[in-house]
Structure 1
């Protein structure tokens, strides 16, 4: 049974500070025991604010490898792209974080979303020693429909158990996404959740009786506890 540890911030701004501090702590802790820290990032306005903060921190960024947990099959310069978001938050000019290694998803320059998924899976396997990569940290958001990464309710991607990367579809767009198997293979998993629109999805995520078919975020089930960083708008009961 997956255990969730909930930390509630006063508002979206304080949530961003809490998230950036916790991410920094995990990077520093990892690099005390390993030569490199491997982190999967998510998109969204809440993590974007945290990335803008953490990018300014003086960490050992040259020892950090950054990946994307999912990406829309659009040009990486499109404002709908998670790559665009990362480049315009974490990698702002002058940030120490610019010395990190960032492995973006090749999208429309390839022939199909399926080819993009295969290409990104190869990149992952080339950067990890094991057949099943184990990230030091995976950051995730939560959609108001219960999706996480690009695992949407009703999508065939929910049922992919063999591959590390697959093609999902949501809100009219094809997407390249980590599978549930890969999302569950991490030493640390953090959900970043803010806003009143997320209340129902968060309640369902924490409900032991909730099905993963309706709330795909329930598929994320690492051996360690999951940290949920939320603001009071998303989790008003504390």
Structure 2
């Protein structure tokens, strides 16, 4: 696991955008399948991307998927797809046919998880029998959750269904989450974690044991980088 530490959330986001662009430019003939997470931290990155890196990003070679989604309509401020659509995708004119959202407005999360699993299986290149994203962008909550897999839901890390329904234990909100069979099959996992309130989570990922879903993924995925503005002593 490699860590990249920057002075602030803005510089961390800029560095990650440059990292993604450079990754794609190293293989100019390839289509890249990338799964994005939602939340406050990537929202800042999306805004910076649209205003500072629009022209140099090879958008036509990017296929965009989601790591997880809250079961809310797209216009809801909680919608991961809606947030990226508003802040980035519309701003750069991303063609709809290159964007594959989870339907958060679904009434039956289990059925939508199955539909999205089938879509990903039919769209993303396979490796070892499962879809292999070129990059999966993850965040981490204060409690150590990632991909809407919360502490106590670690069984989702060993699921062979690419996406499954989950529930936020703090407010009961249903969600749809990427599970372990995709997380551990990705060619690259990148964590974007900023804010001093995330010091404990970053410590667990960098220095501690498998203390929560985020730390477990970081320690067991094939190739992991972490971009953060949190410096851990020692």
Q: TM-score, normalised by structure 2?
A: 0.88
- Between 187-196 and 43-52, report the one with greater CA deviation: 43-52
1:155 corresponds in structure 2 to 153
Native 8 Å contact 2:5 2:231 kept in 1: yes
Residue 59 of structure 1 and its aligned partner are, at CA, apart by 2.7
User: Are residues 1:11 and 2:8 paired?
Assistant: yes
SS of the residue aligned with 2:130?
coil
Residue 186 of structure 1 and its aligned partner are, at CA, apart by 1.4
Give CA deviations for 1:104-136 in whole Å, capped at 9, x if unaligned: 00133x341101100110110110342401111
Residue 81 of structure 1 and its aligned partner are, at CA, apart by 0.6
**Alignment RMSD:** 2.0
Native 8 Å contact 1:40 1:138 kept in 2: yes
1:51 corresponds in structure 2 to 46
2:108 corresponds in structure 1 to 112
Give CA deviations for 1:119-159 in whole Å, capped at 9, x if unaligned: 11011011034240111111010111001111100126535
1:196 corresponds in structure 2 to 196
Note closer, same or farther for the CA distance 1:203–1:236 as it changes in structure 2 (3 Å cut).
closer
Note closer, same or farther for the CA distance 1:158–1:80 as it changes in structure 2 (3 Å cut).
same
1:186 corresponds in structure 2 to 186
User: Which has the larger helix fraction?
Assistant: 2
SS of the residue aligned with 2:87?
coil
Aligned length: 225
In 1, the alpha carbon distance for the partners of 2:179 and 2:207 equals 22
Residue 27 of structure 1 and its aligned partner are, at CA, apart by 2.3
Residue 8 of structure 1 and its aligned partner are, at CA, apart by 0.6
Residue 180 of structure 1 and its aligned partner are, at CA, apart by 1.6
Which runs of 5 or more structure 2 residues have no equivalent in the other structure?
none
Note closer, same or farther for the CA distance 1:121–1:206 as it changes in structure 2 (3 Å cut).
same
- Between 116-125 and 98-107, report the one with greater CA deviation: 98-107
SS of the residue aligned with 1:89?
helix
Native 8 Å contact 1:61 1:100 kept in 2: no
User: Are residues 1:123 and 2:119 paired?
Assistant: yes
1:27 corresponds in structure 2 to 24
Note closer, same or farther for the CA distance 1:236–1:38 as it changes in structure 2 (3 Å cut).
same
In 2, the alpha carbon distance for the partners of 1:9 and 1:54 equals 17
- Between 52-61 and 77-86, report the one with greater CA deviation: 52-61
Alignment of 1:211-222 (within 5 A): 211=210, 214-220=211-217, 221-222=220-221
Q: TM-score, normalised by structure 1?
A: 0.86
Note closer, same or farther for the CA distance 1:103–1:157 as it changes in structure 2 (3 Å cut).
farther
Native 8 Å contact 2:79 2:104 kept in 1: no
SS of the residue aligned with 1:39?
strand
In 2, the alpha carbon distance for the partners of 1:205 and 1:12 equals 18
